[in-house]
Amino acid sequence: ESSKGMVVSTHPVASAVGLEILKKGGNAIDAAVAVNFALAVCHPAAGNIGGGGFLVYRDAKGQNFALDYREKAPLKGHRDMYLDEKGNIIPGKSFVGIFSAGVPGTVAGMVEMHRKFGKLAWSELVAPSIELAKNGVVLTEKEARGLNRNKADFIKENPGKSYLIKMDTVTWKMGEKLIQTDLAETLTRIAAKKLKGFYAGKTADLLVAEMERQGGLISKKDLRKYRAVWRQPITQAYKNYQIIGMPPPSSGGIALAQLMQMVEKYPLASWGAASDSTIQVMVEAERRVYADRAKWLGDPDFVKVPVSELMDPSYVGQRMKTMSFDHATPSKEVAAGDFPAYESPETTHYSIVDEEGNAVSITTTLNNSYGSKVFVGGAGFLLNDEMDDFSAKAGVPNLYGLIGTKANEIQPQKRMLSSMTPTIITENNQLKMVVGTPGGSTIITSVFQVVLNVLEMKMNMQQAVEFPRFHHQWLPEQTRFEPKRFSEDQFSRLKSKGYEFSPTTAIGLVEGILILPSGKRQGGADSRGDDTVSAY
């Protein structure tokens, strides 16, 4: 707990960098920029300058903002780019290698949020990451394991390059220093020239040269045209709380708003987090919300997303009328709603609250772990594999098993649909919670469960993020679950009602900050990863 500033991120070094910026007099946005660039160095699996993300921001005066710096399809992208001559998906083409990369948005997002809200000098915010890349960051056990696990892909996708790769039999070890000289030089250009340090000049030359060398699609024109976009946040009342989330092309804000409405009428608090009834209500709500996600959600600059219709109380209430406590609703019987309109597990999240009460919730990603596995030659950073978040073919699952339709098909310059769910919650117009997580398709349900753990089950922030989780996404039929989430007796009861289960090791890495009645900030950092709270 702390009475001043707090940063919760997925890496101890990045959290410490953000805290130092707050101590220097920077605000939550300044800290967010510094944390982002630090994560690009110390958490290459998901921290990035070659990916994209979303910001949900609430200032100390109570104004809400949402910034979309999601990647885009290249100008040369097209609907059938991942299909063979028979119209079948080419395995792997959309999520590994140069052809899977979308136009990066992260640097544009950082520059834009700093332009609008930053206090400290831009170069001061990028400086810590330059030092980390130049002098080396000490590998955690998790980071060393991730690098070793992906070494074969790095070698395959980076012929003639040696970033993070040991070509001999030596493996990365916890405690070793990871030095990234070329990345330090790229960050130095960004520090000096902001947008032009990435989307033009030497960095752009190197990125496009990598595309040409390996047959990728991103051009100088793609980089020149990229812009981060301010959007209207999604807001939804839940009892005396207000849920503030990210609008499309994130599906997270709408999905969380629907989920919270669907469960509001049930006495979850008296049932308890572990009761059969609570689990059934949550699974059935998730099943219906993911069906809507598949049909209706996409980039609002390209398709009409029926936002108000999806969140309409009469529509949401009607969705749960077919739910029965006697048996599971088969997913084949759950269709998306009908409107007159016409839609990684490796991501990373960080939550920040500064001394004044400005609150930042940011989720950023390369999509899969280490993105496309392609490093930009001479620039030292990884490219995303976000093109897999489009529907490569309507009705066919992507890497995360998510189904999509026409609303999320590939078009040039279109942003791909995302599950990222950066969220801020207020109570009686006072800041209550800042939360988010990585986890691919499980992001929405992880945030949903942690929010209910705090608001309904009255857990503290750390208890809420530690509590074992489960996930249902309409298709496939199974409910995925973590160890210790269900008892054997509970399995038997729920299976007898038609529920199917699939075990998994971990779901999400939630970063949360809860504002206590005293005004103190209480941090929750997920022990499933290297997640760390830094505060003063």
Instruction: List, by residue number, the catalytic residues.
Output: 347
Residue 50 CA to its chain's centroid (Å):
14
Which contiguous run of DSSP H or E holds residue 263? helix 252-263
**CA dihedral sign, ordered 427, 432, 434, 440:** negative
53 bridge partner residues:
69, 364
- Determine the Cα–Cα distance for residues 11 and 511; give it in Å rounded to an integer: 11
- Determine the Cα–Cα distance for residues 431 and 438; give it in Å rounded to an integer: 23
Pair 379, 218: CB distance under 8 Å: no
Token pair recorded at residue 469: 């989780």
- Strands 423-427 and 241-245 turn out to be antiparallel
Pair 470, 482: CB distance under 8 Å: yes
To 5 degrees, how large is the angle CA 273–CA 471–CA 533? 70
Query: Which residue in 148, 187, 139, 123 sits closest to 381, CA to CA?
Result: 187
- Determine the Cα–Cα distance for residues 342 and 298; give it in Å rounded to an integer: 11
Taking each helix axis from N to C terminus, what angle separates 106-117 and 122-135, rounded to the nearest 10 degrees? 140
SS3 2: strand
Pair 55, 229: CB distance under 8 Å: no
- Dihedral of the CA atoms 450, 451, 455, 458 (nearest 10)? 10
Cα→Cα distances 79→40, 242, 366, 402, Å: 31, 38, 21, 17
- Around Cβ 224, how many Cβ atoms within 10 Å? 11
- Around Cβ 525, how many Cβ atoms within 10 Å? 27
434 bridge partner residues:
424, 513
- Determine the Cα–Cα distance for residues 202 and 185; give it in Å rounded to an integer: 10
Query: Which residue in 239, 232, 230, 136 sits closest to 181, CA to CA?
Result: 136
